[in-house]
Amino acid sequence: MTATLLDGLGVLVTNDPTHPHGDGTPLGRLVDGAVVLADGAIAWVGPRRMAPAVDVRLDLGGRALLPGFVDSHTHLVFARDRVGDFTAVTGGRPEAAGGIASTVAATRAADDAALRTTATRLRGELTRAGVTTVEVKSGYGLTIADEARCLALAGELTDEVTFLGAHVVPPEYAQDRAGYVALVCGAMLDACAPAAHWVDVFCDVGAFDVDEARAVLLAGQERGLGLRVHANQHAPGPGVQLAVELGAASADHCTHLTDRDIEALAAGSTVATLLPTADLGVRGPFPDARRLLDAGAVVALATDCNPGTSFTTAMPLVVALGVLALGMTPDEAVWAATAGGARALRRGDVGQVRVGARADLLCLDAPIPEYLAYRPGVDLVHAVWRAGTVVHRGR
């Protein structure tokens, strides 16, 4: 076993408010801190003057060290981008956009190799952006066979695989919504649940109503899947309340919230996952993170990487928007993109720098994490470790 000491840190963000040498805030900052990695895990965290003897010492030159980002919401398995939609919408011709249905048609027509190439390329982008844990959804197949193969491809990239057969009603079921919901709740889940950890449903105008969404979530739960909900993205609605009522791990988007939605999130166990690049992508309003946080809700930030509304892997930009557009403090946004994402995936082994956690780390070419918001859109990633191995070296 080789033990490596990461030394010469600027601020160390642990997300451990109880660390005896930390500052006691949720970020658990240590100044003059050091970290020892061994066997893919964090073996020691503390002041550098107390560091144990190690085999290898790496001086990080005064740079900040954080837990790797946990991106708890992506749609990486699809064929063909939708730059044509983007050009149409931004050019004032929204009626010319093909929407999710056009990605479904392209994905069905693509072979596994093409889908794998795109998903792997995007996973690589996420790594270079500092993401060390990622959730990946299906949702562009929408037949039993296509959903099953999209989940298998997602499973090549991550353990956090989500079945989103209820993304939209596919065109061949346009006249038979009930038939599609029955397919999802029956044969499709039977075939897909073994390859997934989570079930998600898009509960919103233009997608599934609350009764349909409830049926899909309960059918997934019966087969052992955890629950996630795309909720209140385009309009206020029942999605958030449904997520909280069923104890879903996460209600995602939360762009349009009522006071009752906020109270429910604050009182329940469901994380509010905010996706500001998706709000930016549709030139819509941003969610009011300040009200959620002040009410006591747990907030996560994620990319929603998908070919339509949010074709980005830039988790640092998501953090910047959390601060600059959503009203979060830098500490809240950094926590939401690391520990918050881990909470949204109900993971205790990532999103923190504490003994026993997986050694997933992000070193910024900046002394403190506030630079993520202070320098929006600038690539500040210096190095990324996953399970103790360097997976990216940047500037």
Catalog residues that contact ligand NIG under the rule CB under 6 A.
75, 100, 103, 202, 230, 233, 278, 304, 306-310
Least Å distance, CB 233 to ligand NIG, is: 5
Least Å distance, CB 45 to ligand NIG, is: 35
Closer to ligand NIG by Cβ: residue 301 or 362: 301
Residue 100 binding: pick among Fe ion, ligand NIG, none (C-beta 5-8 Å cut-off by kind):
ligand NIG
- Pair 6, 34: CB distance under 8 Å: yes
Closer to ligand NIG by Cβ: residue 77 or 357: 77
Least Å distance, CB 82 to ligand NIG, is: 7
7 binds Fe ion (CB under 5 A): no
Residue 212 binding: pick among ligand NIG, Fe ion, none (C-beta 5-8 Å cut-off by kind):
none
- Pair 142, 372: CB distance under 8 Å: no
Least Å distance, CB 116 to ligand NIG, is: 19
Q: Which of residues 104-143 bind Fe ion (CB under 5 A)?
A: none
Residue 308 binding: pick among ligand NIG, Fe ion, none (C-beta 5-8 Å cut-off by kind):
ligand NIG
Closer to ligand NIG by Cβ: residue 133 or 233: 233
Least Å distance, CB 137 to Fe ion, is: 7
DSSP state of 73: -
- Pair 256, 279: CB distance under 8 Å: no
Given the structure tokens 């988007």, which residue do they identify? 253
Residue 29 binding: pick among Fe ion, ligand NIG, none (C-beta 5-8 Å cut-off by kind):
none
Least Å distance, CB 59 to Fe ion, is: 40
Closer to ligand NIG by Cβ: residue 134 or 366: 134
Residue nearest to Fe ion (CB): 304
The CA–CA distances, whole Å, from 218 to 173, 267, 294 equal 21, 22, 31
DSSP state of 88: H
Residue 380 binding: pick among ligand NIG, Fe ion, none (C-beta 5-8 Å cut-off by kind):
none
365 binds Fe ion (CB under 5 A): no
Closer to ligand NIG by Cβ: residue 102 or 143: 102
Least Å distance, CB 305 to Fe ion, is: 9
Least Å distance, CB 104 to ligand NIG, is: 9
304 binds Fe ion (CB under 5 A): yes
* C-alpha to C-alpha distance for 166 and 331, rounded to whole angstroms: 35
Closer to ligand NIG by Cβ: residue 63 or 167: 167
* C-alpha to C-alpha distance for 372 and 362, rounded to whole angstroms: 12
* C-alpha to C-alpha distance for 321 and 379, rounded to whole angstroms: 15
Residue 381 binding: pick among ligand NIG, Fe ion, none (C-beta 5-8 Å cut-off by kind):
none
Closer to ligand NIG by Cβ: residue 173 or 374: 173
The CA–CA distances, whole Å, from 109 to 114, 174, 278 equal 10, 20, 26
The CA–CA distances, whole Å, from 117 to 156, 265, 325 equal 12, 38, 33
Closest CA to 157 of 133, 140, 141: 133
* C-alpha to C-alpha distance for 90 and 307, rounded to whole angstroms: 15
Least Å distance, CB 42 to Fe ion, is: 31
Residue nearest to ligand NIG (CB): 308
Closer to Fe ion by Cβ: residue 41 or 101: 101
Buried b (16+ CB within 10 A) or exposed e, 76-107: bbbbbebeebbebbeeeeeeeebebebbbbbb
Close Cβ partners of 87 (under 8 Å, ≥ 6 residues apart)? none
Closer to ligand NIG by Cβ: residue 309 or 352: 309
What are the residue ranges of helices labelled H in the chain? 83-90, 99-109, 112-128, 144-155, 177-183, 189-192, 210-222, 239-245, 259-267, 276-281, 289-295, 315-324, 330-335, 341-344, 371-374
- Binding stretches for Fe ion (CB under 5 A): 304
